[in-house]
Structure 1
């Protein structure tokens, strides 16, 4: 039986390498820091970290988060003569919710993208988040930027599967259990009966549409023998949107052979990622110690 400590490390590394250390890696790091610092889910704190990261880095964070930032920009830059701090980016949850809704309107209701699922996996690795609360908190995290509930539902499914896998549940059981979540949108619930046979929803969608990305990721993992195999199959097909999810779930299922990727890893980035993974995995160790003490 593989330890949760090893699985946490593998998931973080697998995600980073599969996503080519893109901005979702940085966002996942910010989410982790919030969870570790506050030991609770605080949407205002998490969002302040996302906004401050976007303000300082200006990387490709996706169209939805970009527009959310633009809608809040004037409120952030209250005094342009002073440097912006993370506190300048902290907003009441009601303001965040209102801004996300406005953003959805500007995008014509198209906020069912896969951005949240790429960044929210630390929720699954956080020991104090109960299994029964994980889906709901995944929905709340996604709603910080994406108004469509579909983005949150896909995040919730991935995080539930990840949680089961790090607890050493078999792949099929982990997937089946996740899809028993009530009130799933039909585009999400239909994935369970299709992913073994097909890698698409059976209808034309945007390539970043969260349910379409999820079915691709599950299809490649179900039809592979290890994490590298799954990543390479998706890479060959140039399905970049599903790669971070494959990195998360394939690594949680099989582990990640880090020695095969030494030439592609920057030491500084790897150290930060591993430190965070260790902090989260240590919480599991402490929790188990308290149970048996």
Structure 2
């Protein structure tokens, strides 16, 4: 399967699974920033997320909303902020994220970064060795807990391996070989084939729980529609977008799946982003490389 099919599959799978919810707009923010600057620029990505909320009031999660409020307070009396108004130094971002963490009573191990950061996996100038670290850095723009970044990193490393035409099992093995994973993340590796849920009750948005659920449905399915159908339950708001990303990257997203689920203008936006990212990858005898 070529790079475009994998990349487009992830974008369209995400859009269908999430019913084009705000997380798809945030993922497009990530890809827009990467393509515009040809580098990972955390403050630029965050400015896009905050300005999106300022102009559209999309549901971007309580943690990011707290950071938005901190950003408005910092901007003071500006009546018509621009996107540049939300462009802050990383040191100030770190302080705002810490304040948001405190306001959330330390509960910032959510799955939002795993929904939005997968374009990093398809970005040619982010090396395999650096992908996990950049995933955690993107997560830290809003979520203080390292668990949010580790789960995003697992999703993105799997997508990168699939892009390079590794098997699903090899992609998962490689992702969980990442050193110093939190035990709640490590335990997913041996469990997700058997159970969709952990043995202990957690918040529905707790990133390791969401990842366990998403991996289970993709691992035990034969195609993207089946994986999405399995995940279409009580937890779908949290795990279904990740199922869409991973299933789309694994199998692609067939036309018959999306032709009645997404309008042409939205589809074009997704395809354009996927085409631009995937155009930098070369293929030779089934191998894909930057």
Q: TM-score, normalised by structure 2?
A: 0.95
Does residue 123 in structure 1 map to residue 120 in structure 2?
A: yes
Give the unaligned 5+ runs of structure 1. none
1:133 counterpart (114, 122, 130) = 130
When residues 78 and 92 of structure 1 are mapped into structure 2, their CA distance, relative to the original with a 3 A threshold, is: farther
Pairing of 1:11-30 with structure 2 (within 5 A): 11-30=10-29
In 1, are the aligned partners of 2:225 and 2:257 still within 8 Å (CA)? no
CA distance in 2 between counterparts of 1:22 and 1:248 reads 13
Aligned position for 2:267: 270
Shift of 1:285: 3.9
Does residue 97 in structure 1 map to residue 91 in structure 2?
A: no
Aligned position for 2:43: 44
CA distance in 2 between counterparts of 1:69 and 1:3 reads 39
Does residue 216 in structure 1 map to residue 216 in structure 2?
A: no
Shift of 1:219: 0.5
Q: Secondary structure at the match of 2:143?
A: coil
Aligned position for 2:59: 60
Shift of 1:78: 3.8
Does residue 258 in structure 1 map to residue 248 in structure 2?
A: no
In 2, are the aligned partners of 1:77 and 1:84 still within 8 Å (CA)? no
Shift of 1:135: 0.3
Shift of 1:199: 1.0
CA distance in 1 between counterparts of 2:258 and 2:272 reads 19
When residues 171 and 39 of structure 1 are mapped into structure 2, their CA distance, relative to the original with a 3 A threshold, is: same
In 2, are the aligned partners of 1:187 and 1:201 still within 8 Å (CA)? no
CA distance in 2 between counterparts of 1:93 and 1:60 reads 24
Q: Secondary structure at the match of 1:235?
A: coil
Deviates more, 1:61-70 or 1:139-148: 61-70
In 2, are the aligned partners of 1:54 and 1:61 still within 8 Å (CA)? yes
CA distance in 2 between counterparts of 1:268 and 1:89 reads 28
Shift of 1:7: 1.0
Aligned position for 1:106: 103
In 1, are the aligned partners of 2:192 and 2:216 still within 8 Å (CA)? yes
CA distance in 1 between counterparts of 2:30 and 2:76 reads 23
Aligned position for 1:69: 68
CA distance in 2 between counterparts of 1:269 and 1:249 reads 20
When residues 172 and 67 of structure 1 are mapped into structure 2, their CA distance, relative to the original with a 3 A threshold, is: same
2:176 counterpart (159, 175, 179) = 179
In 1, are the aligned partners of 2:214 and 2:239 still within 8 Å (CA)? yes
CA distance in 2 between counterparts of 1:55 and 1:149 reads 26
CA distance in 2 between counterparts of 1:287 and 1:187 reads 38
CA distance in 2 between counterparts of 1:71 and 1:258 reads 43
Over the aligned positions, Cα root-mean-square deviation in angstroms equals 1.8
In 1, are the aligned partners of 2:154 and 2:176 still within 8 Å (CA)? yes
Aligned position for 2:146: 149
Shift of 1:287: 12
Give the unaligned 5+ runs of structure 2. none
